[in-house]
Amino acid sequence: MTANPSRQSPAEWEESAQLLPLTTRELPSGRHQFHKERLMARIQQEERTATAAAAEPKARRFTMPRRAFAVPAMACALAGAVFVGASVFTSDGEGTGAADGSVLTTSVGAATTKGVPQLLDQISLAAAEVPDPKAGQYVYIESKTANSYEKVVAGGSSLAIDKLHRRQIWMSLDGTKGWLIDPAVNESPEGETLSLPDEQGNVPVATLNGPSYDYLAKLTTDPDKLLQKIYKETEGQGNSPDQEAFETIGDLLGESYPPARLYSALFKTAAKIPGVVVVEDAVDAAGRHGVAVARLDETSGERVEWIFDKKTHVFLGERSVQVREDGGDSGVIKRGTVTNTSAIMKRAIVDDIKQTPTEGG
What is the pLDDT confidence band of residue 262, given thresholds at 50, 70 and 90? very high
- Lowest mean pLDDT across 71-85, 156-170, 233-247: 71-85
For 287-296, the pLDDT digits (tens) are 999 999 999 9
Residue 27 near residue 114 (C-beta atoms within 8 A): no
Give the helix/strand (H/E) hosting 180: strand 178-181
Whole-angstrom distance, CA of residue 1 vs CA of residue 90 = 39
Taking 70 as the threshold, does the pLDDT of residue 8 lie above it?
no
Domains of the chain by residue range: 5-360
Give CA torsion, residues 5, 111, 257, 16, to 10 deg. -10
Whole-angstrom distance, CA of residue 287 vs CA of residue 299 = 28
For 287-327, the pLDDT digits (tens) are 999 999 999 999 999 999 999 999 999 999 999 999 988 77
Q: What is the mean pLDDT of residues 319-339?
A: 85
Contacts of 261 (CB under 8 A, 6+ apart): 128, 221
Look at the pTM and tell me if it is higher than 0.85. no
